[in-house]
């Protein structure tokens, strides 16, 4: 299956520019259309504060300030998008059938980011999400978790720095779960065009399900011939061992399932998904 439509949620300009660069690299590979989506905060969301002892005048002032900040942020994000796309020579146009060049468009909507991004992602082949800003906890990324938990579609987490290549050397983190199987399915078009694919396995990472050898047989039916490497945890961190194995392969895309354990458990205790999201310096294709 070819990749034709990319969704790019943009809330800021710092990590957003790196994600936009990643999206345009992807668009050039597939001649795809990038829909950049900025979700503005609805100033009416501060109205529930009326029950917190604030006067009507104070709430109105807060709504006005929220609206002003939301407008300024929307203008900054759109300016960043238009400047970057123009510099890269990508045509700004509506998504049209049959275009054989990468294109892009920008849309602004108002509401709850987690709801609107998840809804838009359901009709995108791939959603590219900016890496959380420096100092932010990965669990705070509403767009990322909206796509993972409520779209049924794959997500590509862009690194802090735009990659020099994408999808030519792919690592698949396999643990036999339904989540990793969904990630493999989403990555099939990428793996079929890659120059090298490696399946990464670990006894500490594997759950009940098909083994790496079974995955190799499955991929062979799709014309993909990966090798297999076993990795071990580093300082009891399975995620650290996984990323080290990916770096050793010099991969430019890591494919994996997300949150085989619950998101709450990983938030409290840590986990492979959380570690990879926080520490990875390469694009990560995830499904749940």
Task: Give pLDDT, residue 278.
Answer: 87
- Average pLDDT over every residue of 60-67: 73
Domain ranges for the chain, please list them.
5-157, 169-287
Nearest residue to 285 via CA among 165, 134, 129, 178: 129
Digit-coded pLDDT (tens) for 90-130: 999 887 666 789 999 999 999 888 899 999 999 999 999 98
Predicted confidence (pLDDT) per residue in 208-237, tens digit? 899 999 999 999 999 999 999 999 999 999
What is d(CA 123, CA 76) in angstroms, rounded to the nearest whole number?
A: 27
Options 1.20.120.450, 1.10.3720.10, 3.40.50.620, 1.20.120.1770; which CATH number does 169-287 get? Answer: 3.40.50.620
Reported as a single tens digit per residue, the pLDDT across 225-283 is 999 999 999 999 999 999 999 999 999 999 999 876 555 444 443 488 888 988 999 99
| Average pLDDT along the chain | 87
Fold classification of 5-157 (topology level): Rossmann fold (3.40.50)
Whose CA is closest to 205, among 164, 244, 159?
244
The reported pLDDT for the residue numbered 214 is: 97
Q: How does DSSP classify residue 17? A: H
What pLDDT, on the 0 to 100 scale, is given for residue 265?
45
Do 5-157 and 169-287 show the same overall fold? yes
């Amino acid at each position: 299956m070819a990749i034709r439509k990319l969704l790019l949620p943009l809330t800021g300009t710092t990590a957003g520019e790196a994600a936009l660069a990643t999206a345009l690299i992807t668009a050039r590979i597939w001649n795809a259309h990038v829909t950049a989506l900025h979700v503005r905060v609805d100033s009416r969301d501060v109205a529930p504060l009326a029950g917190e002892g604030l006067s009507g005048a104070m709430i109105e002032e807060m709504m006005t300030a929220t609206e002003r900040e939301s407008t300024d942020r929307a203008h900054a994000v759109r300016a960043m998008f238009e400047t970057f796309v123009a510099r890269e020579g990508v045509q700004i146009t509506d998504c049209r059938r049959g275009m054989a060049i990468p294109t892009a468009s920008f849309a602004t909507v108002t509401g709850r980011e987690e709801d609107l991004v998840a809804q838009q992602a359901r009709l995108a082949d791939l959603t590219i999400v900016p890496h959380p800003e420096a100092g932010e906890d990965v669990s705070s990324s509403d767009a990322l978790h909206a796509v993972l938990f409520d779209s049924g579609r794959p997500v590509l987490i862009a690194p802090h720095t735009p990659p020099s290549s994408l999808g030519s050397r792919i690592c698949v983190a396999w643990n036999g779960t339904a989540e990793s199987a969904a990630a493999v399915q989403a990555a099939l078009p990428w793996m079929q065009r890659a120059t090298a694919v490696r399946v990464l396995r670990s006894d500490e990472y594997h759950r009940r399900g098909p083994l790496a050898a079974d995955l190799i047989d499955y991929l062979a039916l799709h014309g993909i011939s990966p090798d297999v490497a076993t990795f071990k945890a580093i300082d009891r961190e399975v995620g650290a061992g996984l990323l080290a194995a990916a770096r050793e392969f010099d991969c430019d895309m890591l494919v994996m399932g997300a949150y085989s354990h619950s998101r709450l458990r990983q938030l409290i205790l840590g986990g492979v998904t959380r570690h990879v999201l926080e520490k990875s310096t390469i694009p990560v294709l995830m499904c749940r």
